[in-house]
Amino acid sequence: MLETLFNNTTKERVLLYLYTYQEGYGQEIARILELPLRSAQLQLKKLEEGGVLICRKRDRTLLYQLNPRYPFYKELSAMLEKALTIMPDDERRKYFSPRLRPRRTGKPL
Amino acid sequence: MKKLNWKKMSVEEIGGAISSHLKKRGMDCVLSGGSCVTIYSDNFYKSADLDFVMTEYPREKVDEALNELGFTRTKTWRHYENPKCPYLVEFPPKPLAAGEENIKKIATRTTKFGKLKLLRPVDCVKDRLAAFYHWGDRQSLEQAVLVALNNRISYAELKKWSTAEGSLDKYEIFLQWVKEKKR
């Protein structure tokens, strides 16, 4: 959907991941999106260098998120939201519908 | 007591059987959470448990009533399970609320196993949207859209509630989804 604009499907998927999951690190993003780790890491690095993402270190892990101070943050978010609404339901539910609401401790899964 | 075949019953029927049984023993409860989404989406969304919000009753009294239906409390938490029933039963703490708003109006559905009190569709949408607004939970957004598309709800009421929750921007996202999925 947005790959023409971004010139890269991996970049689009990484952005959609960070938009829906709110944050993530390379290995986790690559695993969930079923991408080669190096491709995911490369796109994360490029997006961070371009100011689209911000990155912080937690223990030894680089944690990425969309940069709320990126000048096109609002517009980018609107585009990603739109992309999600028109994405096939199966694909969206598989890759971009994380459970972020808390689960009570002790609850059998 | 008539033997119930839990595996063949719908969530709504199970809810009706449990709440009418509790009612007979003087306990009043309202079904909330994901199982309301199941009911209002005609089983499109599958919840794994039934969450009943009830006025405080002695735990022994609740245990006894549910034991009569074959449910026993799990050791770890406030869940009840019955090996013959595919759903867990839980009693989350009061109040019955969606975000900051206490829910006062309740819907009722009648099943062949008894009456069931549950959230109204609009409150079910609010309940799901609260998780989207405050935790960014997109599964809840999808469930809210599902209920909104399958039921008559007041968008004016939802907008007012969303404003009070300080989440008008996310309400706009919800509306965008409803419009897109209506096509």
Question: What are the average pLDDT values for consecutive 10-residue runs of chain B, which has 183 residues?
Answer: 84 96 95 96 90 87 94 83 94 89 95 96 97 95 96 97 96 96 86
Number of separate domains in chain B: 2
Task: Write the pLDDT tens digit of every residue in B33-43.
Answer: 999 999 999 98
User: Class of the A3-90 domain?
Assistant: mainly alpha
Residue A70: is it exposed, middle or buried by C-beta count within 10 angstroms (0-12/13-18/19+)? middle
pLDDT of residue B3: 74
* Cβ-defined contact of A108 to B137 (cutoff 8 Å): no
Q: Which of B119, B138, B168 is the last residue of a domain?
A: B119
Say whether both B144 and B161 belong to one domain.
yes
Query: Is there a contact between A99 and B139 if contact means CB atoms under 8 Å apart?
Result: yes
Residue range(s) defining the domain that contains residue B36: 6-119
Domain final residue, candidates B97, B119, B141: B119
Decide the pairing of beta strands B114-118 and B107-111.
antiparallel
Those residues of chain A that have pLDDT short of 70 are 1, 105-109
Residues B99 and B127 occupy one common structural domain: no
Same domain, B73 and B115: yes
pLDDT for position B56? 80
- Please give the model's pTM, rounded to 2 decimal places: 0.89
User: Which residues on A lie below 8 Å from B88 (Cβ)?
Assistant: 108
Asked whether residue B167 is domain-assigned, the answer is yes
pLDDT of B94 reads 85
**Is B66 found in the same domain as B23?**
yes
Domain stop point among B80, B103, B119: B119
Domain edges within chain A: 3-90
- pLDDT of B132 reads 96
Q: Report angle CA A63, A77, A92 to the nearest 5 degrees.
A: 80
